[in-house]
Amino acid sequence: MKKKKESKYIPVARRRDKPDAIMWLVKNHPEVTDPQLIKLLGTTKATVTAIRKREHWDIANIKPRDPVLLGLCSQIALDKLIEDVERIKARKAEKA
C-alpha cells in the first residue's frame, strides 16, 4: 500500500510569495508544465494559468522571485525538476 505524501505547511506570511515564484519559473523556465509547477510549489492550476495568461488579479504587483530564496521549495527539488524537463525535451528532439 502506498503511503500518502504529507503536504507541507506554508506559513500565511509566505503564501503571498507563491505568485512571485510562479512568475519566476514561467519567465526563466517556460518549458515547465503546469502540473510540475503545481506539485513543486503546492499551488492551484487556476493560479498558474492566470499568471501564464497575465490575468491574475494582482498581476501588477507580482515580481518574479526565486522560489528557493522565498523558501517555497528546495534547490535540490528545483534542480531535479529542471533536469527532468531537459531530459523530456531531449527525448522529444531525439524522436523528431
pLDDT in tens, 14-46: 889 999 999 999 999 999 999 999 999 999 999
The reported pTM is: 0.86
Beta strands in the chain (DSSP E): none
Report if residue 1 sits inside a domain.
no
Confidence of residue 1 (pLDDT cuts 50, 70, 90): low
Report if residue 17 sits inside a domain.
yes
The grid coordinates of residue 79 equal 534542480
Report if residue 52 sits inside a domain.
yes
| Counted domains in the chain | 1
Please, which residues have CB within 8 angstroms of residue 86's CB and are 6 or more apart in sequence? none
Length in residues, the chain:
96
For 90, the domain range is 13-95
Report if residue 42 sits inside a domain.
yes
Report if residue 68 sits inside a domain.
yes
3-state secondary structure of 65: coil
Element at 59 (helix H, strand E): none
Count Cβ atoms below 10 Å from residue 47 Cβ, excluding itself: 17
